[in-house]
Chains A and B, each alone.
Chain A
Amino acid sequence: MSDPYYLFSGCLIPTRLPFLESSSRLVLDRMGVEYSPLPDATCCVEPIGLRTMGYDTWLTVTARMLSIAESGGRDLLTLCNGCYMSLKESAHALKDRAVRERANELLAPTGRSYQGKAEVRHFMEVVRNLGAVEVQRLIVAPQTKLHLAIHPGCHVLRPSEICDVDRSFSPSVLSDIAKWTGAEVVHNEDWPKCCGGGLTGVDDIISIGILNDTVDSFKADGANCILTPCPFCFVQFDLKQKQGIPVLYLSELLALSFGATPEQIGLKYHRNKFETVR
């Protein structure tokens, strides 16, 4: 199965960051990727809090969403690292027959069942699979002024035996995509880094400490902008970061290099203004 996809944008993007959804759709349209929103979607049961609180709830709710995708005969396309790991790990667990039977038992009252055929893709993975030639053909405004720090985020890389978009230590896919747009990559992730988003609201002192660790390493390499494919990391870097480095979501970088105007993709909603770079 490949495209058309079911687009699953999660909770954070549609509620708080609709401009990221808008730019993602714009990029997918330009790249000729067909999609439609996943019908009857709920939250993916995010993998940091809710999944750990109710493991069976997580397994059943994700099995329900995977079964919807399966009955439509399409792959799921997620815009968020949290959704990606949550759904991907569930799809992996549900490949086991015993686990699947248990999940289907819990799922029975809803009248759905899952046979283990759905696949989950990350936005970054779809862009990578399209390839350098296809993407570079669409670029009309190379982003040569950008000195990017790359932050793929935890849940698109780890656990690496399940999340297979990229390798876990010194990942390269995101920096490759950034280079296709003409940007310079000054900082690549050499060591598992975290944005601290998982502890926002739970323990803010630790959360901010983790964020500062990460941003300081970016600053030391002379980055003038951060690139991430994860909306949770985006929120951390944009709202909580004190050093003031602007941040771009992957679709925003691609949209800008495809010739979209900042107004069109809502860059005005960023707290750390991107105009300072241009």
Chain B
Amino acid sequence: MESIPIPDLDLIFCVPIPKRPSLSKHRDPLYRRLNQKGDKRYSSSASPVKRSRIDTTLEEGFRDALLCYELWRCHQCGQCTPVCPSYRHGGIHTREVMERAHVGAIDLAVDRQIWQCTMCNACSERCQLGVDPAHVITILRGAATERGNVPQHFKDEAKLFISSGMSFPRTGLTKKMRREFGLEELEVSDQTMLELTKILERTTLGRVKLE
């Protein structure tokens, strides 16, 4: 029996993604309004990812990992995109991200789209082919974090979590209100912080740079 030929990966990456302006964005009155005000986020020239460039920054091992999540199931039907609350306001284009992830054409060191997802899981719920776009975005975000591409807000949150064990700051008002309602003091014990530090020493959040 003849073995099935393996597709030439280099060949796949030679095929450029067509530079296509998203029609819906131009029709959207919100898009036009924002664009008139000089908001550059919506104009394609402001995008840090050049649409015509094929980026092969995704390592092969990582791409394999993505394929484990059955990206090949995605038929690019685009059902994930209209249910996306962020897409309607010029945020993440779910189908495009799936396509880019599939061919490895996504520069995780600068890409901002993946951070415009609210993780509401509507896309995964809507997908009729059993792909999980929200999980793919989760993986992409993890890899982007390793490359230092994280919004400042999440960096600050991570730093707070690492230093205090909580993702929100405890303020004077916290103390006052807790006393008013007869709730016990909110404290993360030293022993708990020690355990957390031990976990962070061995996992991603403790390793990545969060300046």
On A, residues with C-beta under 8 Å from B are 11-12, 14-16, 18-19, 21-22, 25, 37, 40-43, 45-57, 60-61, 64, 106-107, 109-110, 112, 154-155, 158-160, 168-169, 191-194, 196-203, 205-207, 209-210, 213-214, 266, 269
A168 touches B125 (CB 8 A): yes
Rank and list the top 4 A-B pairs by shortest CB-CB distance, nearest first: A198-B118, A54-B205, A158-B121, A209-B89
Known: A11-B166, A19-B177, A64-B199. Is A53-B120 also a contact (CB below 8 A)? no
B78 contacts the other chain (CB 8 A): no
Jot down 30 A-B pairs with beta carbons below 8 A, ordered by A: A15-B168, A16-B168, A18-B183, A25-B183, A42-B161, A42-B166, A42-B192, A43-B161, A48-B118, A49-B154, A49-B157, A50-B154, A50-B158, A50-B161, A51-B138, A53-B141, A54-B208, A56-B204, A57-B199, A57-B200, A57-B205, A64-B195, A160-B125, A191-B83, A194-B122, A196-B118, A202-B154, A205-B39, A206-B86, A214-B85
Closest to A56 in B: B203
B203 touches A60 (CB 8 A): yes
Q: How many residues of B contact A (CB 8 A)?
A: 69
**Distance of A41 Cα from B196 Cα, bound (Å):** 10
Closest to B138 in A: A52
Closest to B39 in A: A205
**Distance of A95 Cα from B172 Cα, bound (Å):** 41
Chain B residues near A11: list those with CB within 8 A: 166-168
The distance from the CB of B191 to the nearest CB of chain A, in whole angstroms, is 7
A106 touches B203 (CB 8 A): yes
The distance from the CB of B59 to the nearest CB of chain A, in whole angstroms, is 17
Given contacts A42-B165, A54-B204, 18 further A-B pairs with CB under 8 A are A18-B177, A42-B192, A46-B167, A53-B150, A57-B200, A60-B199, A154-B122, A158-B122, A159-B125, A168-B125, A192-B85, A192-B122, A194-B118, A194-B120, A203-B116, A209-B30, A266-B177, A269-B177
B81 contacts the other chain (CB 8 A): no
B202 contacts the other chain (CB 8 A): yes
The distance from the CB of A142 to the nearest CB of chain B, in whole angstroms, is 25
**Distance of A193 Cα from B126 Cα, bound (Å):** 13
**Distance of A212 Cα from B60 Cα, bound (Å):** 42
B199 touches A159 (CB 8 A): no
A198 touches B117 (CB 8 A): yes
Chain A residues near B116: list those with CB within 8 A: 199, 202-203, 206
**Distance of A110 Cα from B91 Cα, bound (Å):** 41
**Distance of A50 Cα from B166 Cα, bound (Å):** 11
B16 contacts the other chain (CB 8 A): no
Chain A residues near B132: list those with CB within 8 A: 159
Number of A-B contacts (CB under 8 A): 201
A266 touches B181 (CB 8 A): yes
Chain B residues near A209: list those with CB within 8 A: 30, 88-89
Chain A residues near B189: list those with CB within 8 A: 40
**Distance of A207 Cα from B192 Cα, bound (Å):** 34
The distance from the CB of A200 to the nearest CB of chain B, in whole angstroms, is 8
Kindly supply a per-residue 1/0 record for chain B positions 132-157, scoring 1 wherever the CB is within 8 Å of any chain A CB and 0 otherwise.
10100111011001000011011001
B120 touches A192 (CB 8 A): yes
B184 contacts the other chain (CB 8 A): yes
Known: A18-B181, A205-B89. Is A47-B198 also a contact (CB below 8 A)? no
B170 contacts the other chain (CB 8 A): yes
Other-chain residue from B134, B142, B181, B202 in contact with A21 (beta carbon distance below 8 A): B181
A193 touches B203 (CB 8 A): no
**Distance of A158 Cα from B125 Cα, bound (Å):** 7
The distance from the CB of B87 to the nearest CB of chain A, in whole angstroms, is 9
**Distance of A53 Cα from B144 Cα, bound (Å):** 8
B124 touches A206 (CB 8 A): no
The distance from the CB of B116 to the nearest CB of chain A, in whole angstroms, is 6
Known: A22-B181, A46-B167. Is A106-B124 also a contact (CB below 8 A)? no
Closest to B200 in A: A57
Chain A residues near B183: list those with CB within 8 A: 14, 18, 21-22, 25
Chain B residues near A47: list those with CB within 8 A: 119
B88 touches A14 (CB 8 A): no
Chain A residues near B89: list those with CB within 8 A: 205-206, 209-210
**Distance of A210 Cα from B30 Cα, bound (Å):** 12
